[in-house]
Chains A and B, each alone.
Chain A
């Protein structure tokens, strides 16, 4: 029996869909797991585009729930990665087209056949959020190192705990090591300290994410992407491996190199 993991955040645009696509692809590609990703963002579907599967959609999540088609018919198999499937969201309906009970049934059906069921949650804490978490047994929270995103993450962690989730895990996305270094961005320890949750991974800001999204190919499969490397690490941690958080040290600046040359300690 597989596990159902919801990827959520509260605040919009922090990287839930990117994270879902990369973890899903990572688990299928690196660990040969059978994975299905559900786009629970009804009305604003995105996961299909990030995965480059938008031209393959025939049926969607709402069709399945309303009995228009069978579950199998709506699942899109990703031809590039064996064992990777997508259940797309409906684009023209709204969130009330699905109930939490129906989502739970759907997830329970899918976990019979898949090792992982990943649910890409919409932004917010309303109906769409309630639907997305209804069938899940674990949760991954995505936040960026900004006050508003961390605040919303805290709110969501509270709601998840109230809903019976134990130990949600945190992914900090879009870290900029150069800004952290000069004291203009909260660092990992600050955020972990404030939210008091376990860290699942840290994803650097990386323009290759934009490039890979343009192409519809998740960065986790891109050898040259730092964010891709970070997502590969996250994938291995989900599988229980003990992988240290990768160091995001920036290249020393010219000034710092000069200081080192003269035997001075680099300023912290």
Chain B
């Protein structure tokens, strides 16, 4: 169940919302990653891939979240959303 979809839905029990929020909070707390750390990752990603693609830097998003590994297990995941403006020539070679 996607927890964002839980909000505003009256038929989902508040306990399930609490549980899902808590799980996500603890992913951050336990990983102990600061916003600065995520910024650092962001700028290094920009550095590396801008050799190959033009990216929209304002739209770049790096965050910690949770991801289903299979039916049963959910694991912490680092997710990066990188909007691309243009693929550079070198990358096509």
Contact = CB atoms under 8 A, between A and B. Distances in A.
Give the interface SS of chain B, mostly helix, strand, loop or mixed.
helix
Contacts of B23: 194
B14 A154 contact: no
Interface stretch (B25-33, B44-52, B62-70, B79-87): B25-33
Contact of A151 (B13, B14, B16, B26): B26
B16 A147 contact: no
Contacts of A185: 15
Contacts of B14: 183-184
Given A183-B13, A184-B13, A147 B30 contact: no
Contact of A183 (B15, B25, B26, B29): B15
Contacts of A182: 13
Interface residues of A, number: 16
Interface of B: 13-16, 18-19, 21-23, 25-26, 29-30
- Main SS of chain A's interface residues? helix
Contacts of B25: 147, 151
Interface of A: 146-147, 150-151, 154-155, 158, 180, 182-187, 190, 194
Contacts of B26: 151, 154, 194
B18 A147 contact: yes
A12 B29 CA distance: 19
B30 to A, nearest CB: 7
B19 A183 contact: no
A186 B18 CA distance: 7
Contact of B16 (A158, A180, A183): A183
